[in-house]
Amino acid sequence: MRFSDLVHLCRQNLFRRKSRTILTVLGVVVGCCSIVTMVSLGSGIDEQNKQMLASMGDLTIITVTGANNTGGMGMADGSGTATARIDDKAVKDFRSLQYVAGATGHVTYLDAILTAGPANRYVDQNGVIEAIDMTQFDAMDYQLDSGRKPNRQGDVLAGQYTAYDFIDSLRPESDNFRMRPSYLADSCTPEQRAEGCEDKSDAQDPFFNILTTKITVGAAQTDDSGNVASSSTPTASNGQTAEGSGSGTQIQVSGLLKEDNGKGQATSSGLLMDIAALKDLVAKIHPDAAAGTLAYDSALVRVQDIDHVADVESQIRTMGFTTSSSRDMLDSLKEQTRSIQLILGGIGAVALLVAAIGIANTMVMSVTERVREIGIMKALGCTVHDIRAMFLVEAGAIGVIGGVIGCLVSALISLAINLIRYGGVSAEHLQWAILGNGTGDEAARISVIPWWLYVFAIAFATLISLISGFGPANKAVRVPALDAIKSNQ
Amino acid sequence: MAWLASPPPTANTDASIASDASAVPDASGALATPAPRTARHNGTHPASERPMIEVRNLRKEYVMGTERVIALDRINLDIARGQICCIYGESGSGKSTLLNQLAGMERPTRGGVRIGGIVVSRLDERELAEFRQKHIGFVFQSYNLLPGLNAVENVAMPLMFRGVPREEREARARAMLRRVGLGKSLNHYPSQMSGGQQQRVGIARAFVTRPQVVFADEPTGNLDSKTKVDIMDMIRDFARENGQTIVLVTHDDHMAAYADRIVTLLDGRIVHDTEQDR
């Protein structure tokens, strides 16, 4: 018997028992849908994690935060904790480790007030100034948002959102700041808007362009207890602050850094400069403070690739330092994701199993119902092999049809889930949901179906159908040809 | 020939069949490439002289609960090529059981059946299927058409099992259906046809493969007397045309009148065997 004839017969048989075929296929569709949807939620978690990690910045950075007391004591050669200080020598040692792309000491200076604009009306009371070894700028993979790279000793870079930290001291308190776009809600309903909600459409540029405006760095007024004066309200000290310091130094920002939380706060809000430049600056605005106090508070080490982070980190620890990196979090995140995916996949598999039982039931019924037909066919010379093939093709067809429809339905379900998560249908949301090319937290999909999942689901549904059709097919084969003649209607 | 000689009633007939079967190593291929012994036999006699169907010392028992029912016993029968042989008997006489043994639908308890030189009772499932495809046609009392297929597809079915391409087999089926007078009902389904029409489809299906032997089990059992005559005429004409052997099982005297030979069964044994001139 030819395969085309088998397919033709199978089509006729399935068509003849339309309602039963439809119900069985429906069972497969549900099973297939649940497995695809469940796994897609699992891969959605993956995508969300990926987006989240991307927003956390460079994952190859190890932050060395200080001496590791236990590690230091463990060193029996007597070098002890005393040598485990973050200094130029330690940074050099880090740089010489295998797989290390770059390393730099890191200084944070908090005692500054930044002002800008006419009459220094724009004030940032909590100006953060960080300093690194600028020769490591590329090796550490700092990224620029705009402007140019630091190529001279005194070049200063600003964080991506530094300009938003300035308040306009001449405006009323309720309206003296500009919100970073990323802090605004995606969208506000009219009711929320009435209560003061602002969304992306309300985003405004900062008061001034930080790349073209000179910034004055002044010393923060400290009170007796050593707290920075900014604890008093900005409006109360408006204007006075900058003038009061008297010793402000003007600087020009040459470039805007891209936010990267792995590389210090200055990439987001603050200023970044070379360590020598910071020393000069501090000497100018705080003549009484000794420049020597500007010790490294930490060191940043960048590893060539993420696979070697653990290795390098443990080497630095044995040198007697405490470190932190995203590795631990990454590991636990992966583990958590995997167990959730297993649970979701399990639920889907149960549904497909139920569908398989449904197929087996249909096929058993089909054999029982067709005992007579099978007998006739055998009497007319149909081989046992062909009869088995006939039933397997039928079962397989149910699986393939159910699998394909199931995949289409799952695609729609997945689309719907994502659109609901995005909060509505729009061209942009559709693009994010279908192509998955949205970036940032707000574009992460809840349900992601990779192409192989469709292939797998259809293959799995077909396989399950064939397996559950196998028993009934063998039962059909054993029907004695005699029954065709014996059973008179 | 040992096989053809009637063994003594007490002899182990299984053994005699077995020894003969071993002389025909590949039973299913025997027609195409005769085994040496068959070839020698055919060499000394014209092929047509050898009986188309040979039954030797056939016995069939059924176990019904704890009881043993002997459905057939000591059946010896030769049916010549081209003969229309009627197996006649009341219901329960064992005639349907005999038909099943002849067609290889059931295995005999003892004894053997040869059709065209092939020991049918020793073929396995697959060989039997091929054997039926090539050499056997069936006409059933209850027509046994497949309800999901139309007339053409039903007639073409045996050809489909043989792997004949769809267009060719349907062309042959249509030609066959025209010959049985159903040229206007080619695409009708069994449920749209009368009993007589369905049986014509059944006849077309039985003869479409040009089998050497056609078994007909009460082919007119469910039909009115006028249709009966049509159907029997049709079967007889087809058989005569191609020299096909017909084994007709019936308990209807009128139908028996169509046969060249009437073998009467009673309680599982042959009680009469009469040839009639036509």
Give the Cα separation of A207 and A23 in Å (integer).
65
Q: Which residues pair with A199 in a beta bridge?
A: A185
Tens place of pLDDT for every residue, chain A, 489 residues?
788 889 988 888 888 888 889 988 998 898 888 888 888 888 888 888 877 777 777 788 888 887 765 444 444 444 444 457 788 888 888 989 989 989 998 888 887 888 888 888 888 888 888 988 888 888 888 888 888 888 777 788 998 888 888 888 888 887 888 888 777 777 777 887 777 777 777 778 888 888 888 888 887 765 444 444 443 333 334 444 434 444 578 888 888 888 887 788 888 888 999 888 888 888 887 776 655 567 888 899 999 887 788 889 888 888 888 888 877 777 888 888 889 888 988 888 888 788 888 878 888 888 888 888 888 888 888 888 898 999 899 989 999 999 999 999 999 998 888 888 888 788 888 888 877 766 666 677 888 888 898 999 899 889 988 988 888 888 888 877 766 556 544
Asked if A12's CB is within 8 angstroms of B148's CB, the reply is yes
Which residues of chain B make contact with A386, given a CB cutoff of 8 A? Answer: 161
Which residues of chain B make contact with A8, given a CB cutoff of 8 A? Answer: 166
Asked if A17 is an interface residue toward chain B (Cβ–Cβ < 8 A), one would say no
- Which among B105, B133, B142 has CB closest to A489? B142
Averaged pLDDT for residues B113-141 = 88
Asked if A373's CB is within 8 angstroms of B161's CB, the reply is no
Q: What is the 3-state secondary structure of A182-235?
A: HHCECCCCHHHHHCCCCEHHHCCCCCCCCCCCCEEEEECCECCCCCEHHHCCCC
Per-residue pLDDT, A233: 36
The answer to whether residue B24 scores a pLDDT higher than 70 is no
Chain B (145-184) residues lying within 8 Å, Cβ to Cβ, of chain A: 146-149, 157-158, 160-163, 165-166
Which bin fits B137, alpha (ψ -120 to 50), beta or left (φ > 0)? Answer: beta
Asked if B142's CB is within 8 angstroms of A373's CB, the reply is no
Chain B (81-140) residues lying within 8 Å, Cβ to Cβ, of chain A: 96, 99-100, 103, 105-106, 125-126, 129-134, 136, 138, 140
Asked if A5 is an interface residue toward chain B (Cβ–Cβ < 8 A), one would say yes
Asked if B125's CB is within 8 angstroms of A381's CB, the reply is no
Residue B194 within any structural domain of the chain: yes
Asked if B132's CB is within 8 angstroms of A379's CB, the reply is yes
Q: How many CB atoms neighbour CB B273 within 10 A? A: 12
Size of the A and B interface in Cβ pairs below 8 Å: 80
Residue B43 within any structural domain of the chain: no
Averaged pLDDT for residues B45-72 = 83
Asked if B132's CB is within 8 angstroms of A383's CB, the reply is no
Q: What angle do CA A387, A7, B187 make, to 5 degrees?
A: 95
Asked if A382 is an interface residue toward chain B (Cβ–Cβ < 8 A), one would say yes
Asked if A480's CB is within 8 angstroms of B129's CB, the reply is no
Domain count, chain B: 1
- CATH value at residue B227: 3.40.50.300
Per-residue pLDDT, A82: 46
- Which among B148, B158, B165 has CB closest to A381? B158
Give the Cα separation of A350 and A38 in Å (integer).
11
Indicate the pTM of the whole model. 0.65
Asked if A386 is an interface residue toward chain B (Cβ–Cβ < 8 A), one would say yes
Distance from CA of A483 to the nearest CA of B (A): 9
Asked if B189 is an interface residue toward chain A (Cβ–Cβ < 8 A), one would say no
Under a CB-based contact definition with an 8 Å cutoff, are residues A457 and A383 in contact? no
Compare all CA atoms of chain B with the CA of A2 and give the residue at the minimum distance.
B163
| Residue among B209, B247, B244 nearest B103 (CA) | B247
Averaged pLDDT for residues B235-248 = 91
If DSSP codes are grouped into helix, strand and coil, which group holds residue A419? Answer: helix
Per-residue pLDDT, A290: 56
If DSSP codes are grouped into helix, strand and coil, which group holds residue A145? Answer: strand
Asked if B146's CB is within 8 angstroms of A480's CB, the reply is no
Residue B258 is part of which domain span?
A: 53-275
| Residue among A174, A371, A262, A373 nearest B154 (CA) | A373
Which residues of chain B make contact with A483, given a CB cutoff of 8 A? Answer: none
Which residues of chain A make contact with B129, given a CB cutoff of 8 A? Answer: 378, 381-384
Quick one: how far is CA A394 from the chain centroid? 44
Residue-wise DSSP of chain B: -TTTSPPPTTS-HHHHHHHHHHTSSSGGGTTTS--HHHHHHHHHS-GGGS-SEEEEEEEEEEEETTEEEEEEEEEEEEE-TT-EEEEE--TTSSHHHHHHHHTTSS--SEEEEEETTEEGGG--HHHHHHHHHHHEEEE-TT----TTS-HHHHHHHHHHHHT--HHHHHHHHHHHHHHTT-TT-TT--GGGS-HHHHHHHHHHHHHTT--SEEEEESTTTTS-HHHHHHHHHHHHHHHHHHT-EEEEEES-HHHHTT-SEEEEEETTEEEEEEE---
Asked if A385's CB is within 8 angstroms of B161's CB, the reply is no
Asked if A2 is an interface residue toward chain B (Cβ–Cβ < 8 A), one would say yes
Residue B32 within any structural domain of the chain: no
Asked if B141 is an interface residue toward chain A (Cβ–Cβ < 8 A), one would say yes
CA atoms within 13 A on the CB side of A152: 8
Which pLDDT tens digit goes with each residue over B76-105? 999 999 999 999 988 888 888 888 888 888
Asked if A485's CB is within 8 angstroms of B160's CB, the reply is no
The answer to whether residue B151 scores a pLDDT higher than 90 is yes
Residue B39 within any structural domain of the chain: no
Which residues of chain A make contact with B138, given a CB cutoff of 8 A? Answer: 379-380, 485
Residue B25 within any structural domain of the chain: no
Per-residue pLDDT, A439: 63
**Does the ipTM surpass 0.90?**
no
Give the Cα separation of A355 and A26 in Å (integer).
8
Which pLDDT tens digit goes with each residue over A375-387? 888 888 888 889 8
Asked if A379's CB is within 8 angstroms of B138's CB, the reply is yes
Helices A384-422 and A18-56, packing angle to 10 deg: 40
Which residues of chain A make contact with B189, given a CB cutoff of 8 A? Answer: none
